[in-house]
């Protein structure tokens, strides 16, 4: 039985794992002073509006102040994070019904003016908007990118005006994509891409915000669910009868992966081992760079106590490729596991430094000699150093994502709009408008990642047939038919309509001998 109605299905891509639910910035970055060249070659000052719907960002001093987490019931966390096999259909059905109702309610309120009691007036519909001329937005976007690369700013702004006329953040898939890609192109022309991207990255996120986003992932897309289940089950299989386990989670974010893992541990024959998790993530702006990682630890301690698991938690605020071994406090008695879900794409590649940060990261992990290295990656070719090539690949990549949302999520649902603006829009800004060290979004193909891992001295492990069977069954039964689950060698691949979004893999040092 399909739990998702065929006519209106739901999905939100989790390709850039770690969706960042929006908090309002306090400064309007909509108007940006840009400079364009006129036809005679003279530079002409002009004002070019970039409507990012952003508000002002607090100063770094204010960012240092501890923010209050909105109260979220433990029942809500449990319902979303701990839905087991038997409860999964019920949970996602409930979430989907809520999403549908919210979208329908929003749509109804926008279409109709409801009369107030006693006024005696009938409801009346909004005026119909005139139909816009149908244009080939894909061609316009490519032409604009080429003129930007050629330095013809006046022509680029002319094309941007055409794109703006036919794009719409509330329209169909291509209208929405064009709106955010136009933002990226205009930011590149104005030279403000890194400022805008850093403002977006610096926004505060709370567990309640991200939990709401995770509900969308759970109900609508298999990507997040499969990634966590693959990682957790692979780790369970690797630790065997170990009595002490130490997990290094590179990019722990809010730690939503680990409550279900603890539930699995508690069910092991003979009882759970002692568990230590080192939460590693980039420092947050301000004077409390470890604040979010610490909050994650407090939440995980609660679940460890609940499942009667001896638990220790270690905080490490650091760039992933700058982690020092002495800060990890490794112990020989512990089985060491390294977990990295969707974070390698944020590391620099060969175009940034002679000492490639991505290779350094893998070499550093290899030196730790872990029993297992779980690596889940975003699959894409968005790291090209040449702007037009990168823009074209980004257009293909994001058009698949927006198409996925168009087919499966109601246009009126607020969470879809926020995902497009604050996740996809943010990534597009970085990929299109930033260069050098400012360009943080650099996904590469899973095959390129495979080469890097082999070169670093890892041996790829076969995928458990049990895990593969579960993934294929659950995706087939509970999610849209256009999601695909494939295997290539020792990779498990998930995608949409022929385009691969994520690759899942497990590794060990090539000389590692299990006891």
**Digit-coded pLDDT (tens) for 117-130:** 444 444 444 445 55
Q: Is the pLDDT of residue 18 over 60?
A: no
Contact 448, 500 (CB under 8 A): no
Q: What is the pLDDT of residue 377?
A: 97
Confidence band for 14, pLDDT divided at 50, 70 and 90: very low
Contact 169, 183 (CB under 8 A): no
How many residues does the structure list for the chain? 515
Q: Is the pLDDT of residue 77 over 70?
A: yes
Q: What is the pLDDT of residue 128?
A: 54
Average pLDDT over residues 294-307: 95
Q: What is the pLDDT of residue 130?
A: 54
Average pLDDT, the chain: 81
Q: What is the pLDDT of residue 73?
A: 64
Surface-to-core class of residue 42, CB atoms within 10 Å of its CB (0-12 exposed, 13-18 middle, 19+ buried): exposed
Domain positions in the chain: 11-60+74-103+134-220+390-435, 221-380+443-509
Q: Is the pLDDT of residue 111 over 80?
A: no
Q: What is the pLDDT of residue 288?
A: 86
Average pLDDT over residues 215-232: 87
Q: What is the pLDDT of residue 129?
A: 53
Average pLDDT over residues 193-206: 83
* 258-266 vs 74-81: helix crossing angle, rounded to 10: 80
Q: How many CB atoms lie within 10 A of CB 349?
A: 19
The residue with tokens 């009938």 is: 122
Q: What is the pLDDT of residue 218?
A: 78
Confidence band for 285, pLDDT divided at 50, 70 and 90: confident
Per DSSP, which regions of 6-104 are E strands?
Answer: 31-37, 43-49
Structure tokens at 316: 């490490």
- For Cα atoms 378, 229, 400, give the angle at the middle one, nearest 5 degrees: 35
**Residues paired with residue 371 on neighbouring β-strands, in sequence order:** none
Q: What is the pLDDT of residues 485-507, one digit of tens each?
A: 999 999 999 999 999 999 999 99
Please give the distance of CA 345 from its chain centroid, rounded to a whole number: 11
Count of CA atoms in the C-beta half-sphere (13 A) of 132: 14
Q: What is the pLDDT of residue 452?
A: 96
Contact 194, 438 (CB under 8 A): yes
Average pLDDT over residues 314-323: 95
Phi/psi of residue 73, each to 5°?
-65, 145
Structure tokens at 312: 């220790």
**Torsion from C-alpha of 420, 423, 427, 432, nearest 10 degrees:** 30
SS3 62: helix
Average pLDDT over residues 434-458: 94
Phi/psi of residue 397, each to 5°?
-65, -55
Q: Is the pLDDT of residue 79 over 90?
A: no
Q: Is the pLDDT of residue 27 over 80?
A: no
Percentage of the chain with pLDDT > 70?
Answer: 79
Quick one: which of 228, 257, 217 has its CA closest to 404? 217
Q: How many CB atoms lie within 10 A of CB 138?
A: 16
CATH number of 221-380+443-509: 3.40.50.150
Q: What is the pLDDT of residues 402-412, one digit of tens each?
A: 998 888 888 88
SS3 107: helix
Confidence band for 212, pLDDT divided at 50, 70 and 90: confident
Quick one: which of 83, 4, 28, 14 has its CA closest to 475? 4
Confidence band for 415, pLDDT divided at 50, 70 and 90: confident
How far the first Cα of the chain sits from its last, in Å, is 44
Q: What is the pLDDT of residues 32-42, one digit of tens each?
A: 333 333 333 33
Q: What is the pLDDT of residues 42-66, one digit of tens each?
A: 333 333 444 434 433 333 333 333 3
The residues near 441 (Cβ < 8 Å, ≥ 6 apart) are 16, 345, 346, 382, 427, 430, 431
CA dihedral sign of residues 125, 127, 128, 132: negative
Q: Please tell me the least confidently modeled range out of 131-135, 207-211, 294-298, 471-475.
A: 131-135
């Amino acid at each position: 039985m399909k739990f998702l109605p065929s006519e209106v299905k739901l999905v939100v891509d989790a390709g850039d794992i770690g969706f960042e639910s929006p908090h309002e910035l306090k400064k309007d970055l909509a108007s940006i002073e840009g400079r364009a060249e006129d036809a005679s070659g003279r530079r002409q000052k002009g004002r070019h509006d970039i409507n990012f719907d952003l508000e002002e960002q607090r100063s770094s001093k204010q960012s240092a102040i501890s923010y209050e987490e909105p109260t979220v019931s433990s029942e809500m966390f449990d319902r979303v994070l701990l839905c087991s096999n038997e409860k999964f259909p019920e949970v996602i059905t409930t979430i989907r019904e809520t999403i549908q109702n919210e979208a329908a309610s929003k749509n109804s309120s926008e279409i109709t003016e409801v009369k107030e009691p006693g006024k005696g007036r009938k409801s009346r519909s909004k005026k119909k908007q005139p139909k816009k001329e149908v244009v080939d937005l894909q061609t316009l976007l490519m032409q604009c990118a080429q003129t930007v690369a050629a330095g013809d700013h006046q022509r680029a702004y002319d094309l941007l005006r055409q794109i703006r006329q036919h794009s719409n953040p509330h329209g169909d898939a291509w209208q929405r994509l064009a709106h955010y890609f136009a933002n990226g192109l205009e930011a590149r022309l104005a030279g403000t891409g890194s400022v805008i991207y850093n403002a977006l990255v610096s926004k505060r996120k709370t567990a309640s915000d991200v939990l709401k986003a995770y509900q969308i992932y759970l109900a609508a897309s298999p990507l997040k669910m499969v990634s966590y289940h693959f990682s957790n089950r692979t780790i369970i299989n690797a630790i065997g009868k170990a009595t002490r386990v130490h997990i290094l989670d590179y990019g722990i974010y809010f730690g939503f992966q680990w409550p279900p893992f603890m539930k699995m541990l508690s069910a092991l024959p003979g009882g759970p081992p002692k568990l230590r998790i080192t939460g590693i993530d980039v420092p947050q702006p301000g004077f409390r760079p470890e604040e979010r990682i610490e909050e994650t630890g407090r939440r995980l301690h609660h679940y460890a106590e609940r499942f009667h698991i001896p638990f220790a938690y270690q905080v490490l605020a650091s760039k992933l490729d700058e982690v020092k071994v002495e800060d990890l406090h490794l112990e020989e008695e512990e089985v060491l596991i390294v977990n990295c879900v969707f974070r390698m794409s944020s590391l620099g590649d060969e175009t940034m430094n002679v000492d490639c940060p991505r290779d350094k990261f893998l070499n550093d992990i290899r030196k730790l000699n872990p029993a297992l290295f779980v690596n889940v990656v975003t699959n894409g070719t968005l790291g090209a150093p040449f702007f037009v090539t990168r823009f074209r690949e980004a257009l293909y990549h994001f058009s698949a994502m927006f198409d996925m949302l168009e087919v499966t999520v109601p246009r009126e649902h607020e969470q879809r709009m926020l995902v497009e603006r604050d996740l996809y829009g943010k990534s597009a800004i970085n990929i299109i408008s930033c260069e050098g060290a400012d360009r943080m979004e650099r996904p590469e193909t899973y095959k390129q990642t495979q080469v890097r891992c082999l070169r670093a001295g890892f041996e790829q492990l076969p995928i458990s047939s049990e895990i593969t069977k579960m993934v294929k069954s659950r995706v087939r039964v509970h999610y849209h038919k256009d999601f695909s689950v494939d295997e290539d060698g020792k990779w498990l691949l998930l995608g949409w309509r022929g385009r691969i979004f994520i690759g899942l893999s497990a590794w060990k040092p090539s000389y590692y001998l299990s006891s």
